Structure 1
Amino acid sequence: MHIGGLQILHHNQWVDVPPVPGAIFQMRSNDKLKSVEHRVVANEQGSGV
């Protein structure tokens, strides 16, 4: 089972990033790695409750 919750800020809007098994998310701009504004949204499925 894959649990989502990762979001990135894109043009002042939070966008869901679908889970991809074994993936590492990175963003390149002008051949440099840039930090991406991100957050994780908790839900019942991933809360451990």
Structure 2
Amino acid sequence: MRRLRFSPRSSFARTLLLIVTLLFASLVTTYLVVLNFAILPSLQQF
């Protein structure tokens, strides 16, 4: 496991972590918005 030993102090790792975090946050936000506006109104009609 010595290959995976890279410090978060390097700017590349920090940028990669930031990009992954932003992607995950936008994915969750998109999922919640779609759930709120697409699925819930159709469920309330029945």
Which of structures 1 and 2 has the bigger CA Rg?
2
- Is TM (by shorter chain) over 0.5? no
Q: TM-score by structure 2 length?
A: 0.21
- Please state which structure has a larger fraction of its residues in strand: 1
Pick 1 or 2: higher relative contact order, CA cutoff 8 A, min separation 6: 1
Q: TM-score by structure 1 length?
A: 0.21
- Please state which structure has a larger fraction of its residues in helix: 2
